[in-house]
Amino acid sequence: MAAAVTPAFTSQKPTELTHTISLFVADKPGVLVRVALVFSRRGYNIESLVVSPGKDDGYSRMTITSSGDPATLSQIIKQLTKLVDVVHAIDHTGSAIYETEIALLKVETSGKEERAELMQIAEHFGARVVDYAGSSTILRVYGSSEKLDALIRLLNDFDITELVRSGKMVMARGHATT
């Protein structure tokens, strides 16, 4: 998988890779804090974090996106696997995975022509209009992070008043473990 396109709104350096890490953890209080501390101690910033219940009761799946040096990341993963509540930690960078992310964008529109142009862009990216108001439209779009970044760059010519992104969710393809 190719390196991710650097979005205009992050501080990621062009030479850094975006890493996607999945953790399977015990669903207990304090696990998230301990995981975040491992990243913090190594100077890694967590860019997105998705936590959801696992298929087994008492366990959760964490998907963490972060950018930085691969050698440091290797140390972070080793430290994560040593945590008592972590069943396994996997870096999916360069692996065969399916990834998706969801975004909601509230865009101000001032007239029919601007709204028509917004609808054309939205249709091209497969975005759905989920709310119309007098002078604003809320779009919902899902897909790869790169797709969402490209849409946001195009919509920067409009007035984006609110933006919410879910964070990347991944699943390993085939029989590989996520």
Q: What share of the chain is helix, strand, coil (3-state, %, to 5)?
A: 25, 40, 35
Separation CA 29–CA 58 (nearest Å):
11
Name the residue among 69, 50, 60 with its Cα closest to residue 87.
Answer: 60
Q: Which residue has the higher pLDDT, 103 or 70?
A: 103
pTM confidence score: 0.78
Number of alpha carbons in the 13 Å side-chain half-sphere of residue 70: 7
Residue 66 confidence (pLDDT) above 80: yes
The domains of the chain are located at 17-95, 98-170
Tens of pLDDT along 124-163? Answer: 999 999 998 888 999 999 999 999 999 999 999 899 999 9
Residue 12 confidence (pLDDT) above 50: no
Q: Are 60 and 52 in contact (CB under 8 A)?
A: yes
How much of the chain, in percent, has pLDDT values that exceed 70? 91
The domain made up of 17-95 has a fold known as Alpha-Beta Plaits (3.30.70)
pLDDT band at 2 (very low <50, low <70, confident <90, very high): very low
Tens of pLDDT along 158-177? Answer: 999 999 999 999 999 998 88
pLDDT at 15: 53
State residue 157 phi and psi, 5-degree precision.
Answer: -75, -20
Residue 100 confidence (pLDDT) above 50: yes
**Residues in the chain, total:** 178
How much of the chain, in percent, has pLDDT values that exceed 90? 71
**What number is the average pLDDT over the span 68-78?**
89
Average pLDDT taken over every residue of the chain:
88
Name the residue among 177, 153, 165 with its Cα closest to residue 65.
Answer: 165
Domains 17-95 and 98-170 fall in the same CATH topology: yes
Q: Are 31 and 85 in contact (CB under 8 A)?
A: yes
Residue 1 confidence (pLDDT) above 60: no
CATH of domain 98-170: 3.30.70.1150
Pick the range with the lowest mean pLDDT from 13-17, 61-65, 100-104, 165-169: 13-17
